[in-house]
């Protein structure tokens, strides 16, 4: 083939096209040439410049805005109670920052609280000025630091993890105001000057504002404060945001659950029933600090349960995981088989291996646990309910079985009635169905704490230092011989108690015929280097409650008190356990003492025993109905209300104190048999002029102390 014949395949190119192609090639070549030349001629720059560029990058990252700032309004009279409890409970779990706003000049005994004192603001109620000043301060000082801002009161509980998850699902760059929408209560409806499409976010359950909302409303806050139409600061804040930012509070029915506001019984809100907690982000109102701590503890239990469930789920997905089975332990012997309890309609429990069998009412703790278990079950059933277009709802528990495997956990078999609901058209339907559920709750790993760590954790909110001395307080009227026995016993105990057992005795002394003998015994104790103080009561009517309160009044708030009686004997170990079981601002101890029967009913063997610390069935019994001996710090005694000083004579003051301790809710009550405390038998005289309640208690105690059931059966059998 000839070369010239190639000319037949040429594509004709115009002059303009050729010029464009040539320009592109020249531009690319020039760019490459200049870049290469710059890299060759520029001086080599080592680490410092690179370090600067990295530090600038880190600086940018460090100034990235946080998720949320929670601003809490409080007053001087609540800053060390409600506000401090908030700071020590849920505020520690907020995924951002918490600030507490107070009036100018407000002081607190707790230096760790982040207080912001608003200039020119006092504690006037309603707190319109304080609320608006707080929002203004946030806009001027914190707007560039956080995406969201929550205005809260000191009686609000916030679940930090749930709040974070909710806010991360919302676009923070837009103007939002989020909370429970309100129009006023029934008495105020139509009187708040709200338009037909207006509302406001109720301040109680919390108001969430985006950064954009905060910045836009800030310049107008002063004007809005000067032109208020009502006395409600939350209404006026909502009006101001509606007017100048053009957004209203979220109209959403679900917000009533997420930002929960309990108006039914404010004083008892969430004290007994916390069913709203699981679905809520905030709970309002919680005015009692003890209830605030109780709700916080419940919330942490829920989070711990969720974490354990997640751990169990992840463990089951491991290649080494064992197959799930309802049989967690295979018994090798008959006695290893754990029997099931049968529960009828969640009301009556039938059992076979306990004292209160064969049947009794289901304990509150079991009912609560079953209710929590059922709630958790249905939460799992309905995880993808929206996608599936159906939901399961619990109706009632027909019957169930329950057993506790001590080393494994709790097993349930639950027979339940359910509502099966389909809510997507055209297949909408509701059907009642019956289902069996097999549930296993697994115990967590054992965790041990040193005593010092345990006491420190229990006293996390306390500022007092525990007094190491055990201060025994004892009322005394007459009974010189019995007091002499008590004194000799105390003297011997203190002699061998060691350096870790410091004891003092406060005697509240009433006048009597053998008073001089009692005073001689007191001097004997003092000569044995036992600190003894005497409070003179004179010749007045005896009242144990008044006497014990008089004794407590002479001691400081951090003193450990042990209320005792002259008929008691005790061991050194018992006194040490009393100290160990009593924790300042956290725990009080009501030991169950061993009470002797009448010595006339004892067997010959019992009469031959040398000391009182023997515990045969015919010798005595643990007096489970007696609360006369108690150990607590004075600060806790005063906190629960002390003894009722209106009660005169014998009995009832101890029961009253015990009931106060239980109702207090803040203090943990320890109630346990104490073999080192023995009540020596003495004849009981019941004055017929006593009030009926005290007289019945006295006769009951007298009858219980005469003899054991075994002895009475033997006596009756003689006449059979």
Give 211-225 pLDDT, tens digit per residue: 999 999 999 999 998
The mean pLDDT value for 275-295 works out to 89
DSSP for 175-188 reads --EES-EE---TTT
The mean pLDDT value for 223-228 works out to 88
Summarize pLDDT for 475-511 with one digit per residue, the tens: 999 999 999 999 999 988 877 766 678 899 999 999 9
- pLDDT of residue 63 exceeding 70, the answer is no
Bridge partners (DSSP) listed for residue 242 = none
- Hey, how many other C-beta atoms are within 10 angstroms of the C-beta on 649? 19
- pLDDT of residue 11 exceeding 50, the answer is no
Can you give the pTM of this predicted structure? 0.64
Bridge partners (DSSP) listed for residue 646 = none
The mean pLDDT value for 315-340 works out to 81
Q: What angle, 0 to 180 degrees and rounded to 10, lies between the N-to-C axes of helices 544-553 and 653-664? A: 60
- 145-149, 355-359, 594-598, 685-689 — most confident range: 145-149
Spatial separation of the C-alpha atoms in residues 487 and 566, rounded to whole Å? 9
Question: What is the model's pLDDT at position 581?
Answer: 93
Spatial separation of the C-alpha atoms in residues 642 and 662, rounded to whole Å? 13
Question: What is the model's pLDDT at position 358?
Answer: 83
In the three-class reduction of DSSP (H, G, I as helix; E, B as strand; rest coil), residue 358 is classed as coil
Question: What is the model's pLDDT at position 8?
Answer: 41
Helical spans, DSSP H, in 47-198: 47-62, 82-88, 128-141, 160-167
- pLDDT of residue 44 exceeding 60, the answer is no
Confidence at 566, pLDDT banded by 50, 70, 90: very high
Summarize pLDDT for 428-473 with one digit per residue, the tens: 899 999 998 998 888 877 788 888 888 888 887 788 899 999 999 9
Tokens of 584: 């300042």
- pLDDT of residue 269 exceeding 80, the answer is no
Please report how many Cα atoms fall inside a 13 Å half-sphere around the Cα of residue 504, on the Cβ side.
16
The mean pLDDT value for 74-92 works out to 93
SS (H, E, C) 508-552: EEECCCCHHHHHHHHHHHHHCCCCEEEEEEECCCCEHHHHHHHHH
Summarize pLDDT for 363-408 with one digit per residue, the tens: 888 888 888 888 888 888 888 887 888 899 999 999 999 998 888 8
Pick from 38-47, 259-268, 540-549, 577-586: least confident: 38-47
Integer Rg of the chain from CA: 37
- Residue (of 276, 285, 232, 235) closest to 256 by Cα position: 276
Give backbone dihedrals phi and psi of 235, rounded to 5 degrees, phi first. -60, -45
Confidence at 329, pLDDT banded by 50, 70, 90: confident
Summarize pLDDT for 624-634 with one digit per residue, the tens: 888 999 999 99
Spatial separation of the C-alpha atoms in residues 211 and 138, rounded to whole Å? 10
Spatial separation of the C-alpha atoms in residues 95 and 164, rounded to whole Å? 7
In degrees, rounded to 5, the angle at the alpha carbon of residue 259 between the alpha carbons of residues 173 and 136 is 50
Tokens 């725990």 — which residue? 587
Spatial separation of the C-alpha atoms in residues 561 and 632, rounded to whole Å? 5
Spatial separation of the C-alpha atoms in residues 180 and 258, rounded to whole Å? 8
Listed in sequence order, the residues at least 6 apart from 24 whose beta carbon sits closer than 8 Å to its beta carbon are: none
The mean pLDDT value for 36-51 works out to 40
- 16 vs 85, higher pLDDT: 85
- pLDDT of residue 35 exceeding 60, the answer is no
- pLDDT of residue 523 exceeding 90, the answer is yes
Question: What is the model's pLDDT at position 555?
Answer: 96
- 349 vs 187, higher pLDDT: 349
- pLDDT of residue 695 exceeding 90, the answer is no
Summarize pLDDT for 112-127 with one digit per residue, the tens: 899 999 999 999 888 8
Look over the chain and give the mean of its residue pLDDT values, rounded to a whole number. 84
Tokens of 684: 């009981």
Confidence at 193, pLDDT banded by 50, 70, 90: confident
- pLDDT of residue 42 exceeding 60, the answer is no
Bridge partners (DSSP) listed for residue 429 = 422
- Residue (of 77, 76, 74) closest to 87 by Cα position: 74
pLDDT above 90 covers a percentage of the chain that reads 45
Spatial separation of the C-alpha atoms in residues 100 and 112, rounded to whole Å? 11
Containing 227, the helix (H) or strand (E) segment is none
Confidence at 702, pLDDT banded by 50, 70, 90: confident
- 637 vs 384, higher pLDDT: 637
């Amino acid at each position: 083939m000839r070369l010239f014949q190639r000319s037949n395949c040429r594509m004709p190119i115009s002059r303009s096209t050729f010029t464009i192609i040539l320009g592109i090639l020249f531009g690319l070549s020039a760019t490459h040439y200049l870049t290469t030349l710059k890299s060759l001629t520029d001086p080599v720059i080592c680490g410092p410049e690179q370090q600067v560029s990295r530090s600038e990058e880190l600086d940018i990252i460090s100034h990235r805005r946080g998720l949320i700032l929670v601003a809490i309004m409080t007053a001087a009279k609540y800053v060390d109670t409600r506000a401090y409890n908030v700071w020590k409970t849920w505020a520690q779990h907020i995924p951002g920052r918490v600030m507490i706003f107070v009036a100018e000049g407000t002081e607190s005994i707790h230096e760790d609280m982040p207080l912001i004192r608003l200039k020119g603001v006092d504690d006037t109620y309603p707190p319109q000025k304080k609320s608006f000043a707080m929002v203004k301060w946030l806009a001027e000082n914190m707007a560039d630091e956080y995406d969201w801002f929550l205005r809260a009161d000191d009686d609000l509980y916030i679940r930090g993890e749930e709040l974070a998850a909710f806010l991360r699902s919302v676009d923070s760059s837009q103007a939002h105001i989020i909370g429970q929408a309100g129009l006023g209560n029934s008495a105020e409806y139509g009187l708040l000057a709200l338009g037909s499409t207006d509302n406001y976010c109720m301040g109680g359950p919390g108001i969430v504002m985006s950064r954009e909302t905060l910045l836009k409303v800030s310049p107008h806050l002063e004007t809005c404060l000067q032109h208020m139409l009502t006395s409600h600061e939350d209404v006026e804040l909502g009006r101001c945001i509606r007017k100048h930012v053009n957004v209203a509070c979220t109209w959403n029915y679900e917000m009533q659950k997420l930002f929960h506001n309990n108006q039914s019984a404010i004083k008892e809100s969430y004290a007994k029933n916390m069913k709203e907690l699981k679905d809520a982000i905030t709970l309002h109102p919680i005015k009692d600090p003890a209830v605030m701590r109780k709700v916080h503890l419940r919330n942490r239990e829920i989070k711990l349960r969720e974490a354990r469930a997640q751990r169990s789920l992840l463990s089951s997905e491991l290649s080494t995981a064992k197959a799930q089975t309802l049989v967690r332990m295979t018994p090798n012997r008959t006695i290893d088989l754990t029997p099931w309890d049968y529960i009828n309609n969640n009301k009556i429990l039938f059992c076979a291996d306990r004292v209160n069998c064969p049947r009794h009412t289901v304990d509150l703790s079991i009912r609560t646990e079953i209710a929590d278990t059922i709630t958790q079950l249905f939460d799992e059933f309905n995880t993808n309910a929206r996608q599936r277009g159906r939901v399961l709802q619990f109706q009632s528990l027909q019957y169930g079985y329950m057993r506790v495997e001590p080393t494994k956990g709790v097993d349930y078999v639950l027979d339940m009635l359910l509502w099966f609901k389909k809510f997507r058209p055209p297949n909408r339907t509701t059907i009642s169905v019956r289902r069996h559920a097999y549930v296993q709750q697994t115990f967590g790993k054992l965790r041990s704490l040193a005593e010092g760590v345990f006491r420190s954790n229990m006293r996390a909110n306390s500022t007092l230092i525990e007094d190491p001395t055990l201060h025994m307080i004892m009322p005394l009227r007459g009974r010189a011989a019995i007091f002499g026995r008590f004194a000799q016993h105390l003297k011997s105990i203190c002699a061998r108690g060691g350096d870790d057992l410091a004891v003092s005795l406060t005697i509240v002394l009433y006048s009597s015929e053998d008073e001089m003998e009692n005073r001689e015994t007191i001097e004997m104790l003092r000569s044995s280097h036992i600190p003894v103080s005497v409070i003179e009561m004179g010749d007045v009517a005896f009242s144990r409650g008044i006497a014990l309160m008089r004794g407590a009044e002479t001691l400081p708030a951090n003193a450990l008190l042990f209320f005792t009686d002259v008929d008691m004997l005790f061991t050194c170990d018992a006194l040490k356990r009393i100290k160990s079981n009593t924790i300042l601002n956290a725990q009080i101890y009501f030991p169950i003492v061993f009470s002797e029967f009448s010595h006339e009913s004892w067997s010959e063997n019992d009469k031959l025993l040398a000391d009182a610390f023997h515990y045969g069935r015919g010798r005595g019994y643990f007096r489970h109905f007696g609360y006369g001996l108690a150990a607590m710090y004075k600060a806790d005694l005063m906190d629960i209300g002390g003894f009722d000083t209106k009660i005169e004579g014998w009995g009832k003051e101890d029961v009253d104190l015990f009931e106060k301790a239980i109702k207090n809710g803040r203090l943990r009550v320890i109630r346990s048999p104490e073999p080192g405390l023995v009540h020596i038998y003495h004849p009981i005289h019941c004055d017929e002029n006593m009030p009926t309640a005290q007289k019945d208690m006295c006769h009951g105690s007298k009858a219980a102390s005469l003899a054991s059931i075994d002895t009475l059966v033997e006596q009756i059998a003689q006449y059979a």
